[in-house]
Amino acid sequence: EVQLVQSGAEVREPGESLKISCKASGYSFHTYWIGWVRQMPGKGLEWMGIIHPVDSDTRYSPSFQGQVTISVDNFVKTAYLQWSSLKASDTAMYYCARRSTSPAPLDYWGQGTLVTVSS
Amino acid sequence: SYVLTQPPSVSVVPGETARITCGGNNIRSKSVHWYQQKPGQAPVLVIYYDSDRPSGIPERFSGSNSGNTATLTINRVGAGDEADYFCQVWESSSDRGVFGGGTKLTVL
């Protein structure tokens, strides 16, 4: 069974760093890209970026380029999304999802990680 | 960058047909995917490559793509279909993803 299991909810203060994770199982990890999607409270889905596990080829949305870093660890079949300095506006639910070769869909999604940034 | 436009809301009476549109410049040249998101849950893929249906998705869900508009059609709508629906494509040159703004389907 394909599963993407994300790390738990986080509460941080502005300026702090954070790294959340997305652990894959049930499929060949090297065959699929892993993407990240943001959903701010009461809002729609925003595509942040995507990474390929084999060579760490990463594509970022212009809106998130330089604001976050997407990485992957093949040994533990896990993708990561990290911030070096959080802002209150980063408060949102973050989803990971897998994709085959473009223009394939995001066919399996993680359960989401809620990030709250507040002083 | 590429823009997808969805109506914010669509309302339908139980048993009737709901049609949710997704507009984009020459969208027929792209593969459109549709996701359903119920409150408090992660999105679920309901239509991919314009009109294909994943296993487990009822046949009541269908999709089409022509000209500048892609359409998600839900036949015999029930209360369980009430959700937000998002269309999505990939920009060909950059392989960056784009989502529509989402449409809230209300079953009256």
Q: Which amino acid is at A73?
A: D
Tens of pLDDT, residues A28-39: 999 999 999 999
Residue B5: per-residue pLDDT: 98
pLDDT band with cut points at 50, 70 and 90 for residue B95:
confident
- Calpha distance B52→A91 (Å, rounded): 34
Q: Please state the rounded mean pLDDT for residues A76-99.
A: 98
Best interface-test mutation with A: which of B33, B47, B98 has the largest number of A CBs within 10 A? Answer: B33
Query: For chain A, what percent of residues have pLDDT higher than 90?
Result: 98
- CB atoms < 10 A from the CB of B91, how many? 17
Q: Which of B31, B45, B84 sits opposite A106 (nearest CB)?
A: B45
Residue A80 has pLDDT above 90, yes or no: yes
Distance from CA of B23 to the nearest CA of A (A): 16
Residue B64: per-residue pLDDT: 98
Interface contact flag, B48 A111, Cβ < 8 Å: no
pLDDT band with cut points at 50, 70 and 90 for residue B94:
confident
What residues of B are in contact with residue A37 (Cβ under 8 Å)? 43, 99
Chain B residue with Cα closest to A65: B96
Interface contact flag, B42 A109, Cβ < 8 Å: yes
SS3 state at B18: strand
Query: For chain B, what percent of residues have pLDDT higher than 70?
Result: 100
- Dihedral of the alpha carbons of A43, B11, B79, B32, in degrees to the nearest 10: -60
Q: Taking all residues of chain B, what is their mean pLDDT, rounded to a whole number?
A: 97
Residue B93: per-residue pLDDT: 85
Chain B residue with Cα closest to A112: B42
Instruction: Spell out which chain B residues touch chain A, with contact meaning CB-CB distance below 8 angstroms.
Output: 1, 30-31, 33, 35, 37, 42-45, 48-49, 54, 84, 86, 88-90, 92, 94-102
Tens of pLDDT, residues B3-51: 999 999 999 999 999 999 999 999 999 999 999 999 999 999 999 999 9
Residue B92: per-residue pLDDT: 84
Residue A55: per-residue pLDDT: 93
Interface contact flag, B49 A105, Cβ < 8 Å: yes
Tokens of A72: 């992957």
pLDDT band with cut points at 50, 70 and 90 for residue A102:
confident
SS3 state at B74: strand
Residue B57 has pLDDT above 90, yes or no: yes
